[in-house]
Amino acid sequence: MDFQFTEEQERFRHEVRSFLDKELPSNWVDYIGTAFDDTVAPIKDGEQIFRDMALKLGQKGWLSLFWPKEYGGQSCSYVDFLIYLEEIASRGSPGYNAVGSKMLAPTLFKYGTEEQKEKHLKPIARGEELLCEAFTEPDAGSDIASLQTKAVRDNNDYIITGQKTWSTFAKYSDWCCMLARTDPELKRHRGISFFLVDLSTPGVTVNPIIDIQGEPDFCEIFFEDARVPKENLIGGENEGWKVVQTMLSYERIAIGPVAVVRSMIDRMVRYIKDNPERQWQNAGQALAQLKVEAEVGRLICYRLAWLHDNGMATAQDAAMVRLYGTELFQRAASAGMELLGLYSQLGKEDSRAPLQGWFRHFYLSSIGVTIAAGTSEILKNVIAGIGLKLPRE
């Protein structure tokens, strides 16, 4: 069992780090947002910074690292891809839109028509097209098959009506991946279809939801008789459930939460050393424990990438990585706040805030991570059902 990266992989990691050192704005504070891999900086021109960086990442070919060369990718391994994701996440870097390059792209490889691939893959790879998910509804979250948004066929179009909510990054996106019910007579998931919808379509309204950090990370999307061409249907009518399962299977192949925790440990250690006059009771014990847990998390993330490269990854493996990473993220955020004491509550607007409010931002970001991309309870059900063969609770 070899736990070392190859020389080529180490060179690639160094290249990504050097790129970020050069290209990130001089005033970048490396804030971590609700979605670690597609947030914008909490500064006035954050969206433009994100789009500019996306174009630069596209020029490097890094937005399509694991894509097959036949689709304009680099045909790199998932281990290579995770090296890139780890470095991006540890710096809170803008420019990487996971929904497009990590999730939708491989879904189009499998279910997209040649016209759909031609229309979307190249712009995504270049960093020109940004996407979001529009699956969750006010009354359909973990049980997404109960969604009520409907799409009615009208000649060569579908007329879509309904509401989506908690759509991360929708305010900054060009397109959304969405599910709608196309046959109400069929039970639950059998009557659902998958669409790509241009967010500039008449009848589509995106309203930002200001989150606990004061940022528009989430949005609600309203569809009021929005006319969507049938060419935007992915995988066939009433075939949306299998399409979205493919897409979501790529969502949990990530290392973002663990990378952020490792970054948090490094920042805390530097802060303690820079402020020796303070009494840091139990800091060593707390950070040592987190160090161990973060190393375990990093190993299982790369193990999942290796399993995927060898065609052995299962939904259980992905669920374990997601569950471990997000719960570790929350524990680390709470530990950081406790170690820093009352000063940890200060935001970036206060000159006394440790590291310009980074730890406060980290803590507030942690509150929702065990809900997004599958709650901890849902992930445990996946592990129990697939891994342990236990009946669903």
Higher model confidence: residue 29 or residue 35?
A: 29
Residue 38 has pLDDT above 80, yes or no: no
Separation between Cα atoms, residue 104 and residue 125, nearest integer Å: 11
Q: Please name the fold of domain 132-248.
A: Butyryl-CoA Dehydrogenase, subunit A; domain 2 (2.40.110)
The average pLDDT across 250-268 equals: 92
Provide the sign of the torsion angle of the four alpha carbons 80, 328, 166, 40, taken in this order: negative
Residue 45 has pLDDT above 80, yes or no: no
Residue 374 has pLDDT above 90, yes or no: no
User: What's the mean per-residue pLDDT of the chain?
Assistant: 91
Residue 373 has pLDDT above 70, yes or no: yes
211 — pLDDT class (breaks 50, 70, 90): confident
- Say if residues 123 and 197 touch (Cβ distance below 8 Å): no
25 — pLDDT class (breaks 50, 70, 90): confident
Please report, for the chain, the start and end positions of each structural domain, with discontinuous segments joined by +: 7-130, 132-248, 251-387
Higher model confidence: residue 189 or residue 244?
A: 244
39 — pLDDT class (breaks 50, 70, 90): low
- In this prediction, residue 391 carries a pLDDT of 86
66 — pLDDT class (breaks 50, 70, 90): very high
- In this prediction, residue 40 carries a pLDDT of 52
**Token pair recorded at residue 352:** 């006394």
CA proximity to 50, closest of 174, 210, 158: 174
- In the chain, pLDDT over 90 holds for what percent of residues? 73
Query: At 358, is the secondary structure helix, strand, or coil?
Result: helix
H or E stretch covering 161 = strand 157-164
Tens digit of pLDDT for each residue in 104-160?
999 999 999 999 999 999 999 999 999 999 999 999 988 889 999 999 999 999 999
Separation between Cα atoms, residue 111 and residue 114, nearest integer Å: 10
Residue 41 has pLDDT above 50, yes or no: no
Separation between Cα atoms, residue 359 and residue 345, nearest integer Å: 8
User: Which numeric CATH code is attached to 7-130?
Assistant: 1.10.540.10
Pairing of strands 192-198, 218-229: unpaired
Class of domain 251-387: mainly alpha
34 — pLDDT class (breaks 50, 70, 90): very low
pTM of the model: 0.92
35 — pLDDT class (breaks 50, 70, 90): very low
257 — pLDDT class (breaks 50, 70, 90): very high
Residue 1 has pLDDT above 50, yes or no: yes
Tens digit of pLDDT for each residue in 156-180?
999 999 999 999 999 999 999 999 9
Residue 76 falls in which region: left (phi positive, over 0), alpha (psi -120 to 50) or beta: beta
- In this prediction, residue 36 carries a pLDDT of 45
- Say if residues 129 and 120 touch (Cβ distance below 8 Å): yes
Q: Could you tell me which residues are beta bridge partners of residue 208? A: 219
The average pLDDT across 387-393 equals: 84
The average pLDDT across 66-91 equals: 94
- In this prediction, residue 310 carries a pLDDT of 94
203 — pLDDT class (breaks 50, 70, 90): very high
